[in-house]
């Protein structure tokens, strides 16, 4: 099964690539715009795919998605970026990636969003712009009939070692979550099509990752 990850050099994406490639049965590709990042992806078991989601066409991105079994949007403008790039990456690139997945016939679509993402979020700070951008992208994805989407909204991300224990629900309240555990949940969601149509919040908890995903999927 081929998995294509947008934002392939991101901290969560690299963790996800390592998990999937270690499991076997997966061919992982990570979309990056900086060729210097290619070795990091290869070390994580992923094929680097050079494509700038801020300037590429839907057709170009769709070509990279051909034959994939799932697409994961894990890209972000990142710390230090202004409101303009929150719009071009966190909103527009997410929209482009969803359109391209639909064009390529890749139904399984997972979005790494953010707790608090809301197109109607108010405020003038950069983080407010970020939450609006993510919210607008999420709303767009939810409207795509050609996608079996799941939107994952982690709480405050940390670099603490993962525990493998999470709380995954439609609404969890605020909390922290290690990036390791976010990647572990994403790895389970890739194959959990029964979670299609769900928007889920994720924080640290007491339920093993695989059990938490099965619970929300109704299995």
Active site positions, annotated = 130
Query: b/e per residue, 27-51, with b = 16+ CB within 10 A?
Result: bbbbbbbeeebbebbeebbbbbbeb
Q: Which residue's entry shows tokens 């900086």?
A: 34
Name 50's bridge partners: 32
Beta strands 148-154; 176-178: pairing state: unpaired
For residue 79, the SS3 value is coil
Helices marked H in the chain: 11-23, 38-43, 58-65, 83-85, 94-104, 126-142, 179-190, 209-217
d(CA 183, CA 79): 20
d(CA 131, CA 50): 27
d(CA 38, CA 31): 10
* 48 close to 30: Cβ distance less than 8 angstroms: yes
């Amino acid at each position: 099964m081929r998995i294509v990850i947008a934002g392939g050099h991101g901290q969560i994406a690299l963790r996800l690539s390592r998990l999937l490639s270690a499991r076997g049965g997966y061919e992982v590709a990570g979309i990056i715009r900086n060729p210097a990042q290619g070795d990091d992806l290869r070390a994580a078991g992923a094929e680097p795919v050079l494509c700038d989601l801020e300037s590429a066409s839907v057709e170009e991105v769709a070509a990279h998605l051909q034959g994939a079994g799932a697409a994961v949007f894990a890209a972000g403008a990142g710390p230090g970026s202004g409101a303009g790039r929150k719009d071009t990456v966190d909103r527009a690139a997410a929209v482009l990636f969803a359109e391209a997945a639909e064009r390529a016939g890749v139904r399984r679509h997972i979005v790494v969003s953010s707790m608090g993402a809301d197109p109607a979020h108010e405020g003038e700070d950069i983080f407010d712009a970020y939450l609006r951008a993510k919210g607008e992208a999420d709303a767009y994805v939810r409207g795509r009939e050609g996608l079996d989407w799941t939107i994952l909204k982690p709480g405050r991300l940390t670099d603490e070692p993962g525990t493998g224990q999470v709380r995954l629900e439609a609404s969890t309240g605020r909390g922290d979550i290690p990036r390791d555990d976010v990647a572990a949940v994403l790895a389970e969601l890739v194959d959990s099509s029964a979670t299609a149509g769900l928007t889920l919040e994720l924080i640290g908890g007491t339920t093993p990752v695989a059990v938490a995903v099965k619970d929300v999927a109704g299995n």
